[in-house]
Structure formats: C-alpha cells, structure tokens
Amino acid sequence: MDIRVERGDIAQQSADMIIVNLFEGVTSPGGGTGAVDAALDGAISQVINDGGCRGKPNEMTMIHTLGKLPSPRVLVAGLGKQEDFTLDKVRALAATAARYARRARCERIASITHGAGIAGLDPHDCAQAIAEGTVMGLYTFNRHKKPKEDDIEVQELVLVEFDQSRIAALQRGVHRGVVLGEAANAARDLSNEPGNVLTPTELAARAQALAADTGLECEVFDQPWMEEQGMGALLGVARGSDQPPKFIVLRYRGGGSSHLAYVGKGITFDTGGISIKPAAGMEEMKGDMSGGAAVIAAMGAIAKLKPKIDITAVIPATENMPGGRATKPGDVVRAMDGKSIEVINTDAEGRLILADALCYVQAAIDGGPDAIVDVATLTGAISIALGDVAMGAMTNDDALLGRLQRAAEEAGEKIWQLPMYEEYKDQIKSDVADMKNVGGRNAGSITAAFFLKEFVDDTPWVHIDMAGVDFYEKVKGVTVKGASGIPVRTLVHLAFILANEPLEA
C-alpha cells in the first residue's frame, strides 16, 4: 500500500474514511478532531455526550458525514488516558484503525498524526509508529488460498498535516516505518510458509533474492563445504532429512568502527528427530526457522536504512527429521571448534546448529565480531517462564544486553533477562563428551544458553529465545494470527544503537 504525507485540512480530505482521535475523558474535542467536529455541526460532541464515544483505548466509533464533508465517514479512534499514552499505543491504534477501515471496505483512508498533538510525542516518531502499525496490522498470509472476488484491501493512507514545518519530519518517519513494517511482514511470510514450500534450499533462495534487491552480499554453502569446515553438530541434525542443508551468510558493509554478528536458527521443519514430538500442534513447527527469518528480514531493512556499522549474519538451515540416517539419542557429534557433544535429545537440535554457526561467525570476521546476537525459537521452557508476552535474553555482557533492551523498547517489543549463574552449567556436563545438549527440565532455557555460551569465547554475546512470541492465535494491535515478525524491528534498532546513530537521523 501507499502511505504518504500531505499538507492540508483533514476535514477537507475526500478519502473513503478519515480518522481522527479522542482521549478518554475529553468532552469537547480540539485540534484536528475539533475541526472535523465543527464541520459536522458538533456531531462528534453529540456522540460523546450521548455516551457513544468515550475515547477508551482502541475504541472505534464511526460517524456518517451525510454530505457535510468530502469523506462519507469519520472514524474516531480512542487513545485512552493521556497520561498513559505511548508510541507503542500509536502503533496499536494505527493497526486497529486500518483493520476497521478494511472491514468497512475502504480503499483510501486519511488520518491525523496520532500522538503528535496534545499528547506531545515527537511527530517523526508518531509518523513512523503509524506507518509500522498500519503495514503490520493489515498483514495477511493468503498466498495458498483462492482469492475472494469481493475482497477489499486498503490501498492508500494519507497523513494530513496542517503545519508545513512538520512535513519533512513526518515524511522521514513514514519512510522508516514502512521499511520496518515491511521487514516484519517479510519475516512473517517466511515463517508462515509450509515446510514443503520453504525448504532449506528455498530459504537460501529467498535470502539471495533479498540480497540482490537490497545490495547485501550473500553466500550460500552446501553440505560438502560444511564437512570441510568440520560442522559436525549442524550435519548431525541434517542427517535424517532428504532435504540438503544450507548455510546462509549475509553481509552488510556500512562502515563505522564496529562489526556486529547476527545468528538465526533456520530449522525449516522440526519433527524432533528420533526424539519425535507429539502430533498435536506439530504443524506449527514450520515456524522453527523464525529466528533465521527475523535475521534475514532485519538485514534487508538495515540495507535500506544504512546505519554506519558492518554486520555479518549467518543462518544455518536444515530440517530435523527421523530418517534412517538420523542422529540417535546417545550419539556424539563434534562442533566446528572441536568440542564434542553428547546428544541426549534430538529435539534439542537448534542449539546444535547454532553452535557451528557461532564458531563460524567468529572465525570468518577478521579480528572477530565486536558483538554477537543469536535469535532462536530454542526452548519450550521460555514459554513457561515468560508466556507469549516477552522474549527471553541471556548474556555474558550486561552492557550489550542493555543496548538490546533499549532497542526492544524503541521497537515496541518486549525482552526480559534471565540469569546466567555458573551453577546452571553443571547441568550440561556429560560423562562421555565435553558437554551434552540438554540439562534436564529445570531452568531449560538457561541451560540451553549455557550450551551456546561454550561457543562464543569472550566475545560480547546475547542469546534471544523467542519461542514464546513467534506465533499468535489472536489479533491485537500490530499482532495478527500466525507468525509475529518479532524481533525484526529490535534487531534493526540495535544496529543503529551500536552505530551510535539515532534511527530518525
């Protein structure tokens, strides 16, 4: 869809629907809402007085203009209490309003810039949040469904601003918001694809297409190369599948003085291997590459927004299947750095492929990376700890984690630190190898992080376990049913933070 900024009067827009807003408790609207109210001879005030519009968060009240305005309909979007209003609520409001407009069969909508008036938020940031929320809120995944003949999609959103001095900042905000929203949707597209479509080969092909479109460098390595590198942990997972594994490397060269590494888990379907999962819900394991999808999509956005930092991203991609050659519980595999691993549970495969990826990314960057962030749907235990609200984060460097938490806050995505006390490491000790790949039920997310920590040496590193936030069953704000697109926007914000640049510059 097209999102743009125009100077003008919201009341004079000829869109299918114009969108204004109202804080909870306000009885006499001002600003753009007040202008529309006046043009409607006080219709909005009358609805407020009648109790039909209270300004509650995400409350949507439609008023027919009956020829008094060029637009036939006005949508009054509730902002909630002014003291509680944030940019994250701007995103959610924009998403909810856009979906309302689609249900009302509107193709062209116009809106004031929510939050940039009496709320006192930065206009650039509000425009960015509106663009993000609109793009993400309207997302659907219908490519495998027969189109409905009467489907209507919102084609255009115009942000209308009366103050000429704000136009340039709003335009910059819209541009960045569209880039970030489309990147989140690109990750959703990958994660929503069924496993028979998005094989490791297809994931690599889509990464190559993204690189060609955005100017990233991309290399894809096959199994013989992995064997030469000694990636026994990754190959041990891949053994059970007829689909060949791929090792995807994306590079962004933005200059600057630091080099960041992103590592994303790319299990394109996870049966659990020999330690096979229960049948119920296994179809969702098509999304076990959501960490890899997030990294790929974030790199595309980074290439468009151009922070001054170098980034290398690696995505080890394979299926985890129970074939005749599959790794068995009790087998020992050896990672790229020579460390041996006793495989207790073949369903703890994500950490195995990440081990080789972490080894590789440190060896491939001259002087090593300045920071590593890995992203994975790694453990069911993280859902028990944090539910579907927040990602879990574990680290060997609190300063890096602090920057990641700031990035998540700016993106409107939630992340929470779990401890890395040395006592947890005892749980992954093995009697027959250097370590084992699971540490039991207790503190499962933390022991998984300790396993990964064995492969990062002293490099500042954060592990993001996103298994609780990768898929949703309900629509709310920017969240839609299916893949979430988390943490694409966090990864983009982190790149700018580590480059010491504001995203809006």
**Choosing from 277, 306, 406, 481, which is the catalytic residue?**
277
476 part of the active site? no
Q: Which pLDDT does position 485 carry in this prediction? A: 98
pLDDT value for 256: 85
What's residue 117's pLDDT? Answer: 85
Residue type (1 letter), 486: I
Other C-beta atoms closer than 10 Å to the C-beta of 205 total 15
pLDDT digits (tens, 9 = 90+) for 439-482: 999 999 999 999 999 999 899 999 999 999 999 999 999 999 99
Q: Give how far the C-alpha of residue 380 lies from the chain's centroid of Cα atoms, to the nearest Å.
A: 19
Q: What is the rounded distance in angstroms from the CA atom of residue 452 to the CA atom of residue 435? A: 11
Query: Looking at residue 505, what is its pLDDT?
Result: 42
Contact 463, 376 (CB under 8 A): yes
SS (H, E, C) 350-370: HHHHHHHHHHHHHHHCCCCCC
The CA-based angle 241-246-252, given to 5 degrees, is 155
pLDDT over 60 at 25, yes or no: yes
Q: What is the pLDDT of residue 150?
A: 81
In the set 351, 403, 436, 489, the catalytic residue is 351
Q: Is the pLDDT of residue 281 over 80?
A: yes
Least confident residue range of 146-155, 177-186, 261-270, 327-336: 146-155
Average pLDDT on 308-316 reads 98
Phi, psi of 78 (to 5 degrees): -75, 130
| pLDDT 10s digits, 30-88 | 999 999 999 999 999 999 999 999 999 999 999 999 999 999 999 999 999 999 999 99
What is the predicted pLDDT for the residue at 291? 98
pLDDT in tens, 338-378: 999 999 999 999 999 999 999 999 999 999 999 999 999 99
What is the residue type of 27? T
Q: Is 304 a catalytic residue?
A: no
Determine the pLDDT at residue 350: 98
Closest listed residue to residue 128, CA positions, set 503, 476, 490, 487: 503
SS3 per residue for 23-63: ECCCCCCCHHHHHHHHHCCCHHHHHHHCCCCCCCCCCEEEE
**pLDDT number for residue 348:** 98
Are 2-162 and 181-498 equal in CATH topology? no
Instruction: Sketch the domain layout of the chain as residue ranges.
Output: 2-162, 181-498
Query: What's domain 181-498's superfamily in CATH?
Result: Zn peptidases (3.40.630.10)
- Identify the CA nearest to 433 among candidates 327, 356, 332: 332
102 pLDDT above the threshold of 90:
yes
Question: Residues 142-173: pLDDT tens digits?
Answer: 999 988 878 899 999 999 999 999 999 999 99
- Helix ranges (H only) for 193-254 are 200-214, 223-229, 232-238
pTM of the predicted model as reported, rounded to 2 decimal places: 0.96
What is the number of other CB atoms lying within 10 angstroms of the CB of residue 421? 9
Under 8 Å between Cβ of 236 and 343: yes
Sign of the CA dihedral running 450, 454, 459, 463: negative
Q: What percent of the chain has pLDDT over 90?
A: 95
- DSSP-assigned letter for residue 396: S
Q: Is the pLDDT of residue 434 over 60?
A: yes
CATH of region 2-162, choose from 3.30.300.160, 1.10.3720.10, 3.40.50.11270, 3.40.220.10: 3.40.220.10
Mean pLDDT on 232-237:
98
Measured distance CA(482)–CA(293) in Å, rounded: 14
